[in-house]
Structure 1
Amino acid sequence: MSITQQYLLDSYRARVLGEPEPPAPGRHDADVVRAVRDYRRFNAVITERPARGRVRYALRRWLHPRAL
């Protein structure tokens, strides 16, 4: 069963039982991505690491290592 079929079945069941319909699939994806980003930034600050630019910094170190 696909996610769309499951959503339609849940919507029908909710209508029959007089309950509120479930949210559409993918409706809260942006909120989840934002929450994960904020959580990772918060953890970075708590562990005293830079909260932004960590990926770029790591790539720069990997691509341009300093000569010893």
Structure 2
Amino acid sequence: MTAIEQYLMDTYRASQHGDPMPPPPGRDDVAVVRAARSYQQFRAVLDGGEARHPWRAALRRILTRPRPC
């Protein structure tokens, strides 16, 4: 059963029982990724490191890698 099928069954069941509707699948995915990244940066600071921004690190890798001629 796919996530969409399960969601449709859950919404039908919720409407029949008068319960609140469940959130659609994938709604909080971006928030979870952001929270994980923030926690990783927090742990880096607690371990005595530096909280690096992932975009800056990716940009630095792109700009400093040798280019083929």
Aligned length: 60
Partner Cα distance (2:25, 2:47) in 1:
35
2:2 is aligned to: 2
TM-score normalised by length of structure 1: 0.76
**Structure 1: runs of 5+ lacking an equivalent:** none
Partner Cα separation in structure 1 for residue 17 and residue 26 of structure 2: 24
Query: TM-score if structure 2 supplies the norm length?
Result: 0.75
Moved over 6 A (4+): none
Name 2:13's counterpart in structure 1: 13
Q: Which residue of 2 aligns with 1:29?
A: 29
Gaps in structure 2 of 5+ consecutive residues: none
> What secondary structure, in the 3-state scheme, does the structure 2 residue paired with 1:39 have?
helix
Cα distance in 2 for partners of 1:2, 1:14 equals 18
Give the partner amino acid of 2:34: R
Q: Cα offset for 1:22?
A: 0.3
Shift of residue 53 of structure 1?
A: 5.4
